[in-house]
Structure 1
């Protein structure tokens, strides 16, 4: 996965390095262009001589030639230089000694000084402190290579370059942090707006007022896609609602005509088929209403609703020969904010599912915990863990021999989503299934 912040940081860092390198190059180029060539060469040669000079106290001055000074000597037929500590003197090519423009004591102490004479016969004269002694270094005619010249300048500007690099690095780091923070804030704002979109009405509500120009194509495309999805969902809801409404009357008429058939075997078979069609149509209508209307909520006791549903389902429970027990644990007087009709439908669907998949003489337990959690447990065949994520999808029946419509758990899922609660399907240690509904607590509790 590509990180936008990381990519931006790398690119800005590389840009900073390139700009800093270009700046250093420009400084060196400016110095080389504006400097007198003779003075520049003598400066580098004098630096090489100073590095080679040795003036230990009590001994004669020496020049231990470095590789750089040796290269200059080989490349410079007109090279002359002199090193003196006032007591001893080392001179290279004394026959090429120029006429000095001022009277310089080469055999005694002198004050620290630096003098540069440009032109055709450029001369460099330095008095420096070396090894606790003051020595004189004078030179002319050196021809150092460009590598030595560049090295000299880089060493000369090292301190300034380090200070500039620290300031420049801080500026680049600040710019990176601000840029990443700005882009991250805009992306988080868009993500938060997307999270607030109602899944039941996903219209294009992503903000465009504060969206950066670079993100506008993505935001616009997402808004258009959300509008299309919302339109398709609305068409699907109207279709399901219309189909369910249109089928209810023909099914009722058909059921009346089937009941009048004289053949008991044919009548029983057709009644079973019509009952299944009626269940499917009723479930479709219930889903359509869930998605197309705003549910009214009020405070109510989940314990009381569970008792009422089981009382309504008593004939169905008796006809299936199952035992159903209601258990109430914890605080029984707690209230939830809910829509009573849909909560009743959810509990009824869970009990009906349990009855459909229960074994003979099985026991179904409806348990209410602290007035906000409802569990329906059976000892039936159970649901494999790998199949549990799919059982809440529409028309997904848990058994090929089931007579249900495959919409019961879908309806329960959507009811819990409308309440802001959760639906969890679990297995039981001794076999069977446990379905848990968790309703959110009331805000004033």
Structure 2
């Protein structure tokens, strides 16, 4: 109940703000208490994007409201809009509306906001408040930087799993995936084929793939060792590595030969999102741990099947492999009180780290004892295959090989855009594989000269 009330409190305020179309700038101020402590007042407006799927964020905000430091600060979380976050945020800031804190869901999204002059550098505030990013956030500190300048504070870190619909496996007579030994990508595709049945509106697909490039190139970067391998040693495109061609062709075949996943054009035109998995039309779904929030919330995501969890597919062997990035919180050009916003970012990340159960958070200075504990204990009641011990074994395995998700290197945003544009033409059968790879290589090498 505490979690629900915390979330409703902040979402209600955010909805009211958006509904009114308010552009009013808050009257923020800072005072010093009798004990010499800083006390802020005014309003903070936060666009949480994907971070807003985590109940712990709202619990942390409720906790901060009890601090003398923030008791006079009104905090408004805007409604979560994953699909329109970049455009909506940019329009709001460029229009001069107050928006104090935004969440960057990936390094490329952070770069997009930097390039669009939406966010501001944080170097001044890191120095002013003596924040050593490496000391506080460990290996996640690197995600603070765009063009070697800190624009974000590391927050939620992603790790993925294979979620599956037990009912579809049962009806197809296919054994559930092993929850200790990962299947190979080849076995994943074969399983998807076996799970696929029916036609038209009654069709069941073996897997749900979104239009995210990770759904085709994830296999390639897992084999090569991370998103850095989109580049050659001299910084040119490495897209001609045979591993990329193989991953592209195999995804194409799942769409057009096996028909075990929807086509790219179908997913795009139908605007299919992650929560479509709960429709019961898909056997497997590769996705991050934020999926636990959706599994638990059956009021929003009703379903008539139990969900299972297994390790991510791997290129070879029995060792678990995974990928991910770390999201960040940033301040914008229209942040009303930058000292307030910066301190709030540091504190809400720290408190969320303590409380989070569905998503790993980055602050290394506090314990994260609740990770996959509270939320899984609730999920187990309806989905008994998913247990705390099993979830930690699959997602926090100390022997897991972890690689960087997404294109990681110079001009990454432009490179990813080129990849999206050219591979889409291949997936919709507008050009062949060789032309696709040639175009990606030529276009990227031209801008990297």
TM-score class normalised by the smaller sequence = under 0.3
Larger radius of gyration: 1
The structure richer in helix per residue is: 1
